[in-house]
């Protein structure tokens, strides 16, 4: 019965999409979260552990790799539009990384007094895979792998806020340009933000993919420097 | 209802469902998938050779963008597959998000080590940072937009 978790995941997602189309009250909750909650209840009721579930839904997670590669198509198709906003991308990526990483480092070093937590809390500002890799590289091998896993799951937690509050906040403050909306969603909320931005349209999706990419690169390049700077103040 | 059994709004799709079009679409989709996997593997090869702290898929995406721009890969070769995969992108994130409701032991023990105050502060930091960034960016951009649209009046 190894196909059941996959079936449950697909059904939960289809039902969540259907429900959010039908009831307007659910529009602030992304279908991803509703489906994930339903799957979590299923796992809890059947007492299935995460490892078994992860193995069973491997076909889905396996497709995540080619899907990220596929983001090259909207970027290529919208490149003329994206080129006009180079400054916007640079500023959002740099500012997000500086602000997020510094806050994480300062809280980790000065409040929690823990080097591992400082790295984990600052690395999570980029998309989950980069967060895991950066944390692993910075901490070195004893404990680095585990810290990487923690950073990855915290990156997902950070990205959750994007699809829930991002579009509403952007609309409320009058940001209507799809490129600007996408760039912010991607840089701040990574892959989950990009998935939401793609629902708004191809321009927002492409901008979001570029934003996610730039934020990941900025984190991987800037975080080591910021880390040693804050660490030297701490000691 | 038409004679094919489709509703009237669907009739323009009916030519797609002949055996010939299905097999040609399937071939197109497979070709796209092969190209995407080739670039994914190229990206993964690059990071293992150069020891970059990036996921292979992001490097693969950059390589494919370059290949599309210089014309090695034509956009119509991957369009069907890429559009289909991107349409289902949120679904692919469901297994990752389940981790939030079933967090790994390492995450829980790492967070619990700091007691209630540390845990609360960390949670506020985790969710508050993106919220602050959204507020800041949307405030700044929204004000700029308002200024710009106010000028011609």
Q: Where are the domains of chain A?
A: 4-62, 72-234
Residue A92: count of CB within 10 angstroms of its CB: 25
Asked if residue B111 and residue B152 are part of one domain, the reply reads yes
Give Rg (Cα) of chain A.
19
Q: How far is B124 from chain A (nearest CA, A)?
A: 10
In a shared domain, residues B3 and B74: yes
Question: How close A226 comes to chain B (CA, Å)?
Answer: 16
At B42, the pLDDT band (50, 70, 90 cuts) reads: very high
Q: How many CB atoms lie within 10 A of CB A193?
A: 31
Average pLDDT, chain A: 82
Residue B57 contacts residue B38 (beta carbons within 8 Å) = no
Name chain B contacts of A162, Cβ cutoff 8 Å: 130, 134
Residues B75 and B134 in one domain: no
Does residue B75 belong to any structural domain of this protein? yes
User: In sequence order, which residues have a C-beta less than 8 Å from that of residue B17 and are 6 or more positions away?
Assistant: none
Residues B72 and B10 in one domain: yes
CB contact under 8 A, A160 and B60: no
Domains in chain B, number: 2
In SS3 terms, B47-96 reads as HHHHCCCCCHHHHHHHHHHHHHHHCCCCHHHHHHHHHHHHHCHHHHCHHH
Residue B98 within any structural domain of the chain = no
pLDDT at B18 over 90: no
- Closest by Cβ to A175, choosing from B37, B118, B138: B138
Q: Does B80 touch chain A (CB under 8 A)?
A: no
> Is 60 exceeded by the pLDDT of residue B10?
no
The answer to whether residue B1 scores a pLDDT higher than 50 is no
pLDDT at residue B2, as a whole number: 41
**Residue A48: closest C-alpha in chain B:** B102
CA distance B145 to A174: 7
| Percent of chain A whose pLDDT exceeds 90 | 2
Give the tens place of pLDDT for each residue, A135-152: 777 777 666 777 777 777
CB-nearest partner of B93 from A136, A166, A191: A191
Residues B21 and B66 in one domain: yes
Q: Which residue, among A73, A139, A184, would best test binding to B if mutated, counting the most B CBs under 10 Å from its CB? A: A73
Q: What is the pLDDT of residues A5-29, one digit of tens each?
A: 889 889 999 998 888 888 877 777 7
Contact (CB<8Å) B131/A165:
yes
- Judgement on whether residues B20 and B47 belong to the same structural domain of the protein: yes
Element of type H or E holding A162: helix A141-172
Q: For residue B67, is pLDDT > 90?
A: yes
Angstrom distance (rounded) from CA A152 to CA B53: 13
Residue B43: list chain A partners with CB under 8 A.
Answer: 69
pLDDT tops 90 at residue A4: no
What is the predicted pLDDT for the residue at B123? 80
Closest CA to A204 of A217, A213, A195, A215: A195
Specify the pTM.
0.76
């Amino acid at each position: 019965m190894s196909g059941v978790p996959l079936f449950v995941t697909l059904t939960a997602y289809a039902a969540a999409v259907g429900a959010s189309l039908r009831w307007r009250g659910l529009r602030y909750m992304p279908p991803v979260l509703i489906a994930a909650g339903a799957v979590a209840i299923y796992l809890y009721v059947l007492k299935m552990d995460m490892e078994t579930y992860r193995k069973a839904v491997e076909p889905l997670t396996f497709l995540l790799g080619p899907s990220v590669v596929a983001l090259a198509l909207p970027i290529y198709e919208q490149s003329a539009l994206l080129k006009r906003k180079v400054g916007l991308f640079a500023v959002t990526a740099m500012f997000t990384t500086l602000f997020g990483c510094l806050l994480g480092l300062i809280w980790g070093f000065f409040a929690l007094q823990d080097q591992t937590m400082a790295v984990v809390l600052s690395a999570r500002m980029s998309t989950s895979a980069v967060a895991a890799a950066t944390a692993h590289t910075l901490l070195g091998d004893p404990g680095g792998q585990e810290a990487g896993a923690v950073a990855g799951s915290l990156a997902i937690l950070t990205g959750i806020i994007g699809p829930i509050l991002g579009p509403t906040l952007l609309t409320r403050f009058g940001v209507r340009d799809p490129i600007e909306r996408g760039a912010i969603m991607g840089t701040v909320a990574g892959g989950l933000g990009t998935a939401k931005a793609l629902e708004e349209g191809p321009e927002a999706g492409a901008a979001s993919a570029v934003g996610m990419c730039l934020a990941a690169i900025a984190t991987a390049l800037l975080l080591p420097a910021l880390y040693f700077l804050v660490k030297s103040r701490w000691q | 209802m038409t004679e094919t059994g489709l509703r009237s709004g669907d009739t323009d799709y009916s030519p797609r469902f002949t055996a010939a079009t299905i097999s040609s679409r399937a071939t197109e989709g497979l070709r796209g998938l092969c190209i995407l996997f080739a670039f994914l593997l190229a990206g993964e090869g690059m990071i293992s050779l150069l020891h970059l702290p990036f996921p292979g898929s992001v490097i693969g995406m950059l390589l494919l963008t370059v290949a599309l721009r210089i014309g090695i890969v034509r956009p119509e070769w991957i369009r069907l597959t890429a559009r289909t995969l991107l349409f289902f992108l949120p679904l692919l994130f469901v297994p990752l998000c389940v981790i939030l409701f079933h967090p790994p032991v390492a995450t829980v023990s790492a967070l619990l080590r700091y007691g209630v105050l540390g845990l609360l502060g960390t949670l506020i930091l985790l969710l508050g940072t993106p919220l602050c960034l959204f507020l800041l960016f949307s405030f700044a951009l929204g004000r700029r937009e308002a200024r710009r649209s106010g000028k011609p009046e």
